[in-house]
Structure 1
Amino acid sequence: MPPGTILTGKWNGKKYKLERLLGLGANGQVYLATLGRSVCAIKIGTEAAELQGEANVLASLDGTERGRGRPPFLLDVDDFTLNGKDVPFYSMRYVPGAPLKSYLKKHGTHWIGVIGYRLMERLAELHEAGWVFSDIKNDNVLVHDFGRVELVDYGGMTAIGRSVRQFTEIYDRGYWSAGSRTADPAYDWFGFGMLWLHATDGKRLLQLSGTRLPQDRGVEDLMKLVRTNPKLRPMERWLERAFHGDFQDSREALKEWRLAHRKKDSREKPERAHVPAWMTGLLVLSVALCATLASVWLFR
């Protein structure tokens, strides 16, 4: 729909002005919009039941978010009339920021520790509420303001124990023969690990996925990339556990991520420069010589 389109809710009567397209998905389009002086994002779909399901998920999460003092994500659910037909949509809080890879390219990979911690903390909250995000990928992780993280596009959110509703192949553990497509926290841990491989070593990862037969793909292929990637080598043990689903829960994964980066940071602290003995001696000799010359000049 062209910029400037006015979208009027059939039931709630709110008037939104579409500013620009933000993204296209399998089940809808997302636009940046304004409602009076406020800015929001609007998702327009074709299947009312599917879009309503997404809105219900966001509403349930908002109940948890309010308990943590965060603003609601879901703002409005309604229909609008287009060519005589009712089209469903919902409006949500607009999340500013850049996709993960773009943020790291601009600000540096030293942000991996902070961003990863905040993202895993967010995932832990979802898991504790009974949900798996499932479709973790670069475009669905927006970073802004000193590494603050938001997940976007909740279309793939799946209740724990159900079959994953939406995923991206290269991030999917089933694609790498590392587990089923049943929603559990470990499914997100795998996607979280793949996020960092894709963000820091995307070219080799895509080459690997394109050259390996489905029956030959596995976690060990991914770990070979990790071990030869200087940016990820310090997190080798953490990533191996994530790819194998080897954490007790997401809070343990969060704790271990923080510990891995504390060790990494301590190893990277520059040591105090050691001054060789010959340089110290030369300095002392120079000072003594200067003092001698000064005294000769004063008392001649």
Structure 2
Amino acid sequence: MTSPVPLVEVVRSGLREGLHHGSAVVVDPQGGPLLSLGSTTAPMYPRSSLKPAQATAMLRCGLDLPSADLALAASSHSGEQDHVRRVAALLERFSLTEDDLRCPPDLPMDETARRGASVERRITMNCSGKHAAMLATCVINGWSTADHLDPKHPLQVAIADTVVELAGEPLAGTGVDGCGAPLFAISLTGLARVFQRVVGTPVGAAMREHPWLVAGTDRQDTYLMAAVPGLISKIGAEGVFAFALPDGRAAAIKVADGAGRPRLPIAVGLLDRLGITGLEHLAEEPVLGGGRPVGSVRLIPGALG
């Protein structure tokens, strides 16, 4: 089995102080391989990068949402005011309340919103948009809501079937995500195929139209979708990142040590390989010392071939 390869270097005050290893794959509009680096066929958990597939499954189960709410269903939102307001309105529309959510209570991800929060709440947890949409899907189908996170629940069975179809491969395992929902293992290549097949769907259109709702202020997804017209992207925990261009070319990234900061430099490098330029402002993540930039996290020259 191929191992992760060095992709990103951490440079502080002109000296390299570390490397991030990872794997990356790019597929063409038919899902065939264009580039493969590292471990791209071994099972992995895509974490929140699978949310667009989960939202697609909910639509197939009859969920009908405005574009903004559909983007929220595929989000890992920052818990900012408009995120929370929209989740609350979505719950109310289906006669649900915050108490019906089964994601764990948490503070907002956004620093400003976090400072203004007095207690951890389920609705400010970054997955609450997905959970609200899951509950709404259950309501319209007459399914039970209390156990909707059980892998044997009709909703989760439908989501698993959709992931298999979009990835073009069987599930390698089922776990539990940080939000409590079932988590499905596929390969990095399978994740790229998911995005290749979602980009032209209503979920892809909603993400393109509302990138801020997918993520929030000062977030990697928000930056990348704003910078590249037609692109959709979604981060996942443990260093996962996936994106697709409107023509169906798609990529998936996994940072081996689970770090999040190498994701965007790798994505920018892959996009450059695909002919998408002008993203130099996103190509490096700053390294701070004393509150000011003293270095950067950047792609190793030649790492992508």
TM-score over 0.5 for the pair: no
Structure ID, larger Rg? 1
RCO comparison, higher one (Cα < 8 Å, 6+):
2
The structure carrying a bigger helix percent of its residues is 1
